[in-house]
Amino acid sequence: METYPKNLEELEVNFSTEEACRKFLFELRWPDGFRCPVCGGSDVWVLTNGLFKCRNCSRKTSVIACTVFEGTRKPLVTWFRMIWWVAGQKNGASALGLKRILGLGSYETAWTWLHKLRRAMVRPGQDRLTGTVQVDETFIGGVKPGKRGRGAEGKALVLIIAQEKGKATGRIRLRRIADASSDSLEAAIKETVEPGTLIKTDGWAGYNGVKGLGYEHKVIRKTADVGDNLLPLCHREASLIKRWLGGTHQGAVSHEHLGYYLDEYTFRFNRRKSRSRGLLFFRLLQNAVVVGHTGYNEIALSVRGRKPKHKM
């Protein structure tokens, strides 16, 4: 089912009631009919309070349980509008801007919702990149240059995997990694790149074991120095990511939340050529019903009561 509003007017007409929103979420979550999240049973009672009770195991559940929306006290109508605005902003959205657009009562609500949706930007089990990819690392944050292979104060190390599409960039994957050791690099590559893919890297020793993992491996220059423009797609992405973090988010991204901002950037970049705002809304809503619930305390744990240790 890929039925979605084409514009804001259609959104507000089609999803003007809680009933309409819940019906749409039901069809997204259970396109082949209800399945109990505990036992997988399909025989169900529909209770008067909107809950579903499995006839097999008696577990009660709702259409928003185990989704981004679990536990919300706000109308789903407002959530749908939030997703429309978040998905459709080319360069991202700020919590303050969304608070104003949606008329939310507090900045904290907008901030929390935005973080919940960032966790839905990348669908669990997303497909891995194929063909030919360029792989390189970049430091994000801090003032002084980082030292390759080890951590750097105030910095985070990010692995960039960019798919070649002619001379242009196809899709990308971004992963924050602990260091540039072979263990860290290989784990991130296995998660994001399909075996058999041709991987281009510089001569960093941490990539030496890639061929043994079932990939083709081409070293661009064995004596590569950091800063050489050997992998132009990765270098271009590194520049764009840093500009995006510094522009849309004014660099105020804590290390603890960086991975989710990278997911947001990936979502937007990989769909940069989409002309349908409604389809972007639909894709993010699809993800929102499968990623699971994250509570406010978990989201705010790293920054509540104090400023982030580092800003980027």
| 235/290 same-domain check | no
The answer to the question of residue 52 being in a domain is no
Residue 261 makes CB contacts below 8 A (sequence gap 6+) with 118, 245, 249, 253
Kindly state the average pLDDT of the residues 245-269: 80
Q: How do residues 213-251 score in pLDDT, each as one tens digit? A: 999 999 997 665 555 568 999 999 999 999 998 776 555
Q: What is the extent of the structural domain holding 194? A: 132-241
Is 312's pLDDT higher than 50?
no
| 103/14 same-domain check | yes
pLDDT value, residue 48: 84
The answer to the question of residue 233 being in a domain is yes
The answer to the question of residue 247 being in a domain is no
| 136/235 same-domain check | yes
Is 87's pLDDT higher than 90?
yes
The CATH code of the domain that includes 198 is 3.30.420.10
pLDDT value, residue 55: 93
Order the strands of the 156-165 sheet from edge to edge. Answer: 168-177, 156-165, 132-140, 198-201, 216-219
Domain count, the chain: 2
Pick from 28-32, 193-197, 301-305: least confident = 301-305
The answer to the question of residue 197 being in a domain is yes
Alpha carbon distance 83, 116 (integer Å): 11
Residue 157 makes CB contacts below 8 A (sequence gap 6+) with 137, 138, 139, 140, 146, 151, 176, 177, 178, 179, 180
Is 91's pLDDT higher than 90?
no
| 169/143 same-domain check | yes
pLDDT value, residue 263: 92
Q: How do residues 13-29 score in pLDDT, each as one tens digit? A: 999 999 999 999 999 99
